[in-house]
């Protein structure tokens, strides 16, 4: 269904990015696998995609660095052709819960650049080619309930970047609709660890008492939605923040006092 299209999936050597890359390859795409530290996993992903009869390339770049983000697109174009589908999966995240006052200035800049500015620069870089071809799909990653702009204590910088990305998603979708380009955001729930690469059938019979659906979320849950949004027939679906959470609200609003 997407034969001959080129997809660039950031942060795709492992996790949700990997599962998305495999789904797009299954649908016919040639895929650029982006990584920072996971070189071995990126090369394995390339081999897996080539085994499907598609073209693939592993490209190292940190999207939090503006020059590296631009180079990533340029190298993808040189090796696989113009980017038809851009999935902005990569984004730094500090797992330790921390009050905003406890972040360093460097950490604030890194989180904002990696989750908002870098994504905007990648979009800016691929738009001319998409406009020329009058076809394109851009996917951003958020978090559960990002579109509500709620508070997320101890995640202030990450949340601010992603909430800003919600507005950018909706704005870019309106600006580029006439050019055949759709822009949407995926908001995954709390999909943990190895489940990020698993299929739905892998969790049959596995219970998750925290999830309203009753089972863990998987990478396939997310990748299938992205695959749908990238289809040619999905051109009327744009400017949305789509929850893929099984009904779970992942935001914890309590703050421990010192």
pLDDT tens string 148-176: 988 889 999 999 999 999 999 999 999 99
pLDDT digits (tens, 9 = 90+) for 15-34: 999 999 999 999 999 999 99
In a domain, 205, yes or no: no
In a domain, 210, yes or no: no
Q: What is the CATH number of the domain that holds 81?
A: 3.40.50.720
pLDDT of the residue at 232: 97
In a domain, 207, yes or no: no
Residue 166 or residue 245, greater confidence: 166
Number of domains into which the chain is organized: 1
**Residue 216 pLDDT class (50, 70, 90 cuts):** confident
**pTM of this prediction?**
0.93
**Residue 205 pLDDT class (50, 70, 90 cuts):** confident
**Residue 248 pLDDT class (50, 70, 90 cuts):** confident
Do residues 177 and 184 lie in contact, with contact meaning Cβ atoms separated by under 8 Å?
no
Helices (H) and strands (E) in the chain, counts: 7, 7
Percent of the chain with pLDDT over 90: 77
Q: Which domain holds residue 79?
A: 6-193+219-244
In a domain, 176, yes or no: yes
Cα 152 from Cα 165, distance rounded (Å)? 15
Cα 98 from Cα 164, distance rounded (Å)? 20
In a domain, 254, yes or no: no
pLDDT digits (tens, 9 = 90+) for 56-98: 999 999 999 999 999 999 999 999 999 999 999 998 888 899 9
Residues in contact with 194: Cβ distance below 8 Å, sequence separation at least 6, in sequence order: none
Q: Give the mean model confidence (pLDDT) for residues 182-196.
A: 92
Buried b (16+ CB within 10 A) or exposed e, 97-128: eeeeeebeeeeeebbbbbbbbbbbbbbebbbe
Cβ neighbours of 249 (radius 10 Å): 14
In a domain, 228, yes or no: yes
pLDDT at 207 over 90: no
pLDDT digits (tens, 9 = 90+) for 114-155: 999 999 999 999 999 999 999 999 999 999 888 898 888 999
pLDDT of the residue at 257: 52
Do residues 92 and 64 lie in contact, with contact meaning Cβ atoms separated by under 8 Å?
yes
* 143 φ/ψ angles, rounded to the nearest 5 degrees: -145, 165
**Residue 253 pLDDT class (50, 70, 90 cuts):** low
Query: To the nearest whole number, what is the mean pLDDT of the chain?
Result: 93
In a domain, 117, yes or no: yes
Give whole-number Cα distances, 165 to 37, 160, 162, 176, in Å. 25, 9, 5, 16
End-to-end CA separation in angstroms for the chain: 55
In a domain, 202, yes or no: no
């Amino acid at each position: 269904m997407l034969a001959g299209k080129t997809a660039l999936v950031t942060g795709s050597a492992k996790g949700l990015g990997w599962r998305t890359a495999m789904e797009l390859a299954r649908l016919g795409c040639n895929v650029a696998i982006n990584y920072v530290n996971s070189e071995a996993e990126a090369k394995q992903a390339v081999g897996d995609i080539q085994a499907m009869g598609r073209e693939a390339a592993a490209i190292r770049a940190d999207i939090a660095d503006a020059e590296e983000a631009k180079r990533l697109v340029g190298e993808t174009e040189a090796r696989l052709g113009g980017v038809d589908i851009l999935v902005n999966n990569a984004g730094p995240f500090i797992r330790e819960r921390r009050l905003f006052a406890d972040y360093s200035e460097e950490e604030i800049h890194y989180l904002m650049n990696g989750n908002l500015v870098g994504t905007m620069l990648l979009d800016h870089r691929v738009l001319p080619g998409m406009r020329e071809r009058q076809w394109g799909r851009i996917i951003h990653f958020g978090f559960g309930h990002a579109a509500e702009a709620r508070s997320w204590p101890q995640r202030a910088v990450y949340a601010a970047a992603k909430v800003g990305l919600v507005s950018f998603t909706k704005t870019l979708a309106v600006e580029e609709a006439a050019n055949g380009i759709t822009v949407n955001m995926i908001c995954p729930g709390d999909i943990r660890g190895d489940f990020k690469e698993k299929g739905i059938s892998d969790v049959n019979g596995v219970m998750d008492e925290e999830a309203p659906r009753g089972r863990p979320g998987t990478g396939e849950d997310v990748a299938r939605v992205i695959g749908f949004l990238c289809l040619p027939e999905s051109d009327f679906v744009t400017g949305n923040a789509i929850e893929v959470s099984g009904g779970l609200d992942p935001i914890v609003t309590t703050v421990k006092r010192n």
